[in-house]
Amino acid sequence: MKLIFVSGGVISGLGKGITASSIGRLLESRGLKVSAIKIDPYLNIDAGTMNPFEHGEVYVLDDGGEVDLDLGNYERFMDLHLTRDHNITTGKVYRSVIENERHGDYLGKTVQIIPHITNEIKRRITTVARDSGADVVIIELGGTVGDMESLPFLEAARQLGRELGREENVMFVHTTLIPIMGSVGEEKTKPTQHSVKELMSIGIRPDVIVGRCSEPISDAARAKIAMFCDVPEQAVISTPDARSIYEVPLNLEKQGVADYIIDKMKLGPMTTKRDMARWEGFVDRVVNPKREVRIALVGKYTSLADSYLSHLEAFTHAGAAAECKVRIKFIDSDELVAHDPSSLLGDVDGVLVPGGFGIRGVEGKIEAARYARENGIPFLGVCLGFQIATIEFCRHVLGLGKASSTEFDPDTPDPIICIMNEQKGIVNMGATMRLGAQDVVLREGSKACELYGGRTLISERHRHRYEVNPDYIERMEAAGWRFTGRSECGTRMEIGELEGHPYFVASQFHPEFKSKPECASPLHQGLVNAAIRYSGSK
Ligand code: GLN
């Protein structure tokens, strides 16, 4: 078992997740099987209940795990399919230990952080590492070294180092900040020194230091860090500002970090030749676009771009495939009620209404869908966006003026969208929320089927509680809102597409969660391609 721990010092937001993902990508490019774990030192069991405003988007996995958005980066960079066990939180660890205690498993012993909590952390890490069958597992420690919350995790990591062997089986990568001060632009290494000292006081000596700095660091700074932090100079890596996060693996590769790790962990000799050519091609298309389109993202968490991270990444992937820069115009949906929609949407080439919960902002999203439908502007609705498009169609095309979802208006005369449990004859999944990968059957000859490369059976990830009310389906379809994607049993509506519109597509599932650099989400790709056509026709 080979483990690489990635910790962070000085400040949060150093791009630790991107560093971990990039190292993983580079190891993978040599034919190694890599997996990844994210440790979140908070007491929530998972991210399912967390506010996107505070924490960014809740990322959903195939198994329905609602996890930290860094797992999205791992899946995108390393092309992985992770499970909820790959996100370890303080909440999960404590819950297991307390359940074991109630069960009488500790035989009358005093239950303590060391060894009981640390043992549970070690058990979780090693179980995931073993089950994944990976040659090497990257474990990102959330938070900053020195935080009270992360101490048990660092202690568990230290112990794993001792038990598995620090020589070649466990490595520590520490990411820090190297600020540039003053007009002379001198790099300051002191914060890094302090942070490494802190790590060492816990008993962990880092093997690699990754310094986040606006510029590539000088040889002098590199030598200084190597000296004070007691690592070889080649183990001091810098991550200067990149034009795209996807450029980070290429920057790291130039500094030989993967070879250093492979050497130290005796992961070689490599049988496969390093292959980053396709990745390089992708990055090249991201940073050198030939054209540009503007897409409006109409939501209510628009003040924090991380709330919609997977959508933004999906647009980067789709944009790269079309050699097009996708500029996102964030629009707070409430603004669309306060102002004439054309004043906000008049200059965009496409509209995305993403997922969401609760009534706030709903009317503005309905306005966005209406504007896109009536003006032939390419539109994509996802999850709540799909429900919004359906409501808008019923209100303004079918003339059901008060149509709504029971989520927003429990007494609506036309509950176009209703809670899944309320429906007769439909087996409820047993959970209050329908989560994770589910099969979707696509209608042959539909736009959806075409976007998915002619496939009629796909699997996409879900996170919803409400759905289209089957009582209205026939009327909607007859008027041109076609449900061309349905659940296998046929009763659950998954995709809607509007007849006679250049691109008006919406899905109950979240295609953004499975978008990959070299294989963009088909529905985002469809929107970007339609936006390019639209902008050319203006
Ligand atoms: N609130 C809606 C539902 O629960 C949509 C959820 C979402 O957009 N993720 O069905």
Portion of the chain with pLDDT greater than 90, in percent: 82
Chain region(s) in the chain for CATH 3.40.50.880: 289-537
Ligand 1 pocket check for 465: Cβ under 6 Å? yes
Q: Looking at residue 114, what is its pLDDT?
A: 94
Rg, the chain, Cα only: 25
The yes-or-no verdict on residue 165 having pLDDT over 50 is yes
Ligand 1 pocket check for 408: Cβ under 6 Å? no
Site to substitute for ligand 1 among 297, 307, 357, 422, most atoms within 8 A of C-beta: 357
Q: Looking at residue 305, what is its pLDDT?
A: 79
The CATH number of 289-537 is: 3.40.50.880
Chain region(s) in the chain for CATH 3.40.50.300: 3-281
Q: Which of 521, 512, 382, 385 is nearest to 72 (CA)?
A: 512
Q: Looking at residue 271, what is its pLDDT?
A: 67
233-259 pLDDT, tens digit per residue, is: 999 999 999 999 999 999 999 999 999
The residue-averaged pLDDT of 335-349 equals 93
274-313 pLDDT, tens digit per residue, is: 788 899 999 999 999 999 999 999 998 777 778 899 999 9
CA distance 332 to 140: 33
**Ligand 1 closest atom vs CA 417:** 10
Question: Residue 118 — very low, low, confident or very high, per pLDDT cuts 50/70/90?
Answer: very high
402-415 pLDDT, tens digit per residue, is: 999 999 999 999 99
CA of 149 to the centre of ligand 1 (A): 32
Q: Looking at residue 300, what is its pLDDT?
A: 86
To the question of domain 3-281 being in CATH 3.40.50.300, the answer is yes
Count how many Cα atoms sit within 13 Å of the Cα of residue 80 in the half-sphere of its side chain. Answer: 28
For the annotated catalytic residues, the residue numbers are 383, 510, 512
The yes-or-no verdict on residue 430 having pLDDT over 80 is no
252-261 pLDDT, tens digit per residue, is: 999 999 999 9
Mean pLDDT of the chain: 93
User: Which tokens in the block code for residue 115?
Assistant: 């060894």
Residue 216 burial (10 A CB sphere; 0-12, 13-18, 19+): middle
The residue-averaged pLDDT of 413-437 equals 71
505-533 pLDDT, tens digit per residue, is: 999 999 999 999 999 999 999 999 999 99
Sign for the CA dihedral angle at 399, 401, 402, 405 comes to positive
Query: What SS3 class is residue 167?
Result: coil
Alpha helices, H only, 239-361: 248-254, 257-264, 277-287, 309-321, 335-338, 341-345
